[in-house]
Chains A and B, each alone.
Chain A
Amino acid sequence: MNKTGNSRQFEIIRTLAAVGIAMAAAVIIIFIVSKEPVNALYNFIVGPFTSLRRFGNILEMACPLIFTSLAVCVMFQANQFNMIAEGGFFFGALCAAIAAVKLPEITGVSVTAALLAGGIGGASLGAVPGILKAKWNTNEFVVSLMLNYVALYLGLYLMNTFIRDTNAGSKVSLKFQEGFRLPNIVPGTRIHLGIVIAALVVILIYLFLYCNKWGYSLRITGQNSKFAEYSGINTFMVILFSQILGGAIAGLGGAVEMMGIYNRFQWSALPNYGFDGITVAIIAKQSPKLVPAAALFLAYLRTGADIMSRSSDVPSEVISVIQALVIVLIAANSFLSGWKHRMLVKQSMNELAAEGGK
């Protein structure tokens, strides 16, 4: 039996075990805190499948998660711990909102322009830690976290100054023009064309990372930047470009979300899709082709938790326990490694025995 097939099988088992343990922990917590644990669990696990609208919620929520986790995949694969997916998503959504209020309406062109605005907005945010890291080796982790707050407050400022609806009671923008909306594609739900765009971006990023010289340079730099440098890869450009690309994907995701679900900008805080994107990227092992499945899984958990918090006494934040455990267990090199070791030993013993018998 070949070695790679075996270790892939092991990785799958390990990921499933991590998810299983995390889910079990959540179930235990629900039983401890709830007065009606069975009802809560039923709503959490089965709830998302009880109506078309709820099932639609899963796909609606997976869409932004796919974008943010792809952004994280690209940056983490280049070994850049950049957290800009959060702020980039928010800022991209805001840039798209400004476009959708201010730009003239031209059929077909309008919505593309808004999405482009979102992508550029996100990319310009990603460029800041990118340049600082590439040129001066500034810690991109702290810079990007700080930049998330800057994106939030700058975004709210721009919203207040340029597109606020002064007649509305709360701080929201003017309504978007009709031509800027991404059309709904499944009647009875809010699933919109954005999910198709998300699928396209998944394919593009996969091709970029695995079938392209640039993507190869990016991955090599991420695995060993010294080696990459000595083999003539322009690591400066990789470090910069990976973070700009990450910001752009997150920004595009924000724009898609805004144009697909909302009819005016109404966020007053960061929506947390960027940090959820990290969870998704870790479950997907930072591989774009696994991102959709991982995003659907987290979206399913979130949808279930929302239903649970509405129909029982357990708040939806119980998911944060699952998320944290999944991340640390999947990323834990020693988790189940003893078992893997025994499996390898047993297998080689069998092979030896088989050879000896010949």
Chain B
Amino acid sequence: MIFDIISSTSFWYAVLRVSTPILFAALAAIVSNKAGVVNIAIEGTMLISSLTGVLFSAWTQSVFIGVSAAVAAGVLTALILAYFSLNLKTDITLTGIALNLFASGGTIFLLYLVTGDKGMSGSLKSLVVPSWDIPVIKNIPVIGEIISGHNLLTYLAFVSVIVVSVLLYRFPIGLRIRAVGEDEGAVASVGLNVTRIQYIALMLSGVLSGLGGAFMSMGYVSWFSKDMIAGRGFIALAAEAMGRGTPVGTMTAAMVFGFADALSNYLQALQISAELVMMIPYITTIIGLFIYSTKKKNNK
């Protein structure tokens, strides 16, 4: 039965689709972690961006403005995180927890004010980012069915893996970000502004989280519903750890979690208790983190 699922091309298509938000979020985690700032507010940032995308695309009837607004909201949230943790010296974990609480309640608050509904944005005519049939490749059997016809944001997520790699390892700002993460003191000693570099890293992290959030409400589904991120921002933190902070390793880990997520979606259609099946992505994450930490311990 599971074999039937895994051998179908539509399942692997779904793996790419559900990996998208985790991948965006995991890239966001890489960029901030490299600068020595653990951004646990990615979950809340994505939630805020999801709602922003829906609201702006519904108001302006423009997909581009919707996605841009979602990204802007992501950056704004990252700036708030940066201000409190870097300027006011609040513990970054507590700031993250606070932002996640705020995102969870604040989005419901705003949704209710706009739509009069506390659960879903169904009454808003929001837009969806279009999907793309890749020329030539779409005609190749199996491969075409798996990698063609995805949402543009899905392609952007995989392109972002390359962009983030190049940015971190080929550009001066990438070097600075990594240097701050390695040794703040050394960076400060050559006259660079550590706080400014961390601000930039967190803003980039906000851009990527914003795109992940936009995908959730303007691609994955076509509406906003409360707490719709459902832990993906945290799963991404696990993916970043398992990928040892490298973009390609993290992408692989994100796709493993995407696989678990897709499997859970598929199994729900069968005669298996939905509750048990819904645990799969979360248990996979715990097992993944566990395997990662046992290996890390052995290597020491």
Contacts and interface: CB of A to CB of B under 8 A. Distances in A.
A143 B296 CA distance: 17
Interface stretch (B9-17, B81-89, B138-146, B174-182): B81-89
B97 A327 contact: yes
Contact of A328 (B90, B105, B109, B279): B90
Interface residues of A, number: 42
B105 A320 contact: yes
A196 to B, nearest CB: 30
B241 A324 contact: no
Contacts of B282: 146-147, 149-150, 153
A160 interface: yes
Interface in A118-177: 128, 132, 136-139, 141-143, 145-147, 149-150, 153-154, 156-157, 160-161
Interface string B259-297: 000000000000001011011001101100110111011
A146 B294 CA distance: 18
A345 to B, nearest CB: 20
Contacts, number: 138
Contacts of A328: 84, 88, 90, 94-95, 98
Contacts of B231: 145-146, 149
A279 B101 contact: yes
A41 to B, nearest CB: 16
B289 A139 contact: yes
B30 interface: no
B289 A332 contact: no
B275 A324 contact: no
B106 A320 contact: yes
Contacts of B278: 149, 153
Contacts of A141: 40, 93
Contact of B108 (A153, A160, A315, A327): A315
B105 A332 contact: no
Contact of B293 (A33, A138, A145, A282): A138
Given A136-B293, A327-B94, A327-B97, A154 B279 contact: yes
B285 A142 contact: yes
Please report whether the interface of chain B is mostly helix, strand, loop or mixed according to DSSP: helix
B147 interface: no
Contacts of A149: 230-231, 278-279, 282
Contacts of A334: 87-89
Contacts of B121: none
B290 A331 contact: no
A138 B97 contact: no
Interface string A304-325: 0000000000010111110111
Contacts of B105: 317-321, 323
A132 B241 CA distance: 15
A231 interface: no
Interface in B89-142: 89-91, 93-95, 97-99, 101-102, 104-106, 108-109, 112-113, 118
B71 to A, nearest CB: 22
A331 B95 contact: yes
Contacts of A327: 94-95, 97-98, 101
Interface in B156-186: none
A321 B105 CA distance: 8
Interface of A: 33, 81, 128, 132, 136-139, 141-143, 145-147, 149-150, 153-154, 156-157, 160-161, 275, 278-279, 282, 315, 317-321, 323-325, 327-328, 331-335
Which 3 pairs from chain A and chain B are nearest by CB? Answer: A320-B105, A324-B102, A157-B275
Interface of B: 40, 84, 87-91, 93-95, 97-99, 101-102, 104-106, 108-109, 112-113, 118, 230-231, 234-235, 237-238, 241, 273, 275-276, 278-279, 282-283, 285-286, 289-290, 292-294, 296-297
